[in-house]
Amino acid sequence: MTNTTESPILDPISIELLNALETADPSIAESMAAEAQRQQYTLELIASENHVSPAVMHTMGSWLTNKYAEGYPGKRYYGGCEHHDTIENIARDRAKELFGCTYANVQPHSGANANVAAFMALCKPGDTILSLPISSGGHLSHGLKPNFSGTFYNIESYELDSETETLDYDHIAARALETKPHMIICGYSAYSRTIDFKRFREIADSVGAYLMADIAHIAGLVAGGQHPSPFPHAHIVTTTTHKTLRGPRGGLIMTNDEEVAKLVDRKVFPGSQGGPLMHIIAAKAVAFGEALQPTFKTYAQKIVENATALADALVEQGYRLCSGGTDNHLMLVDLRPRDENLTGADAEDWLGTAGIVVNKNGIPNDPRKPMVTSGLRLGTAALTTRGLTAEDMRTVALMIDRVLVSGGDAQVCQRVNQEVRELCERYPLYGH
Ligand code: DSN
pLDDT of residue 109: 98
Interval 43-54: pLDDT, tens: 999 999 999 999
- The DSSP secondary structure of 366-396, one letter per residue, reads -SS-TTT-SEEEEE-HHHHHHT--HHHHHHH
Relative to the CA of 190, which ligand 1 atom is closest? 5
**Residues 6+ away with beta carbon under 8 Å from 390:** 305, 306, 308, 309
175 is catalytic: no
214 is catalytic: yes
Q: In the predicted model, what is the mean pLDDT of residues 333-359?
A: 98
What dotted CATH number matches 63-291?
3.40.640.10
Confidence at 5, pLDDT banded by 50, 70, 90: very low
Interval 265-294: pLDDT, tens: 999 999 999 999 999 999 999 999 999 999
pLDDT of residue 196: 98
Answer whether 63-291 and 297-426 agree in fold: no
pLDDT at 1 over 60: no
Cα 185 → chain centroid: 17
Which of 135, 139, 140, 149 for mutating ligand 1's site (highest number of atoms within 8 Å of CB)?
Answer: 139
Confidence at 194, pLDDT banded by 50, 70, 90: very high
Confidence at 432, pLDDT banded by 50, 70, 90: low
The answer, yes or no, to whether any atom of ligand 1 lies below 6 A from the CB of 48, is yes
CATH class, 297-426 region: alpha beta
68 is catalytic: yes
Q: Report the distance separating Cα 385 and Cα 427, nearest Å.
A: 10
Domain limits of the chain?
A: 63-291, 297-426
Q: Report the distance separating Cα 186 and Cα 236, nearest Å.
A: 11
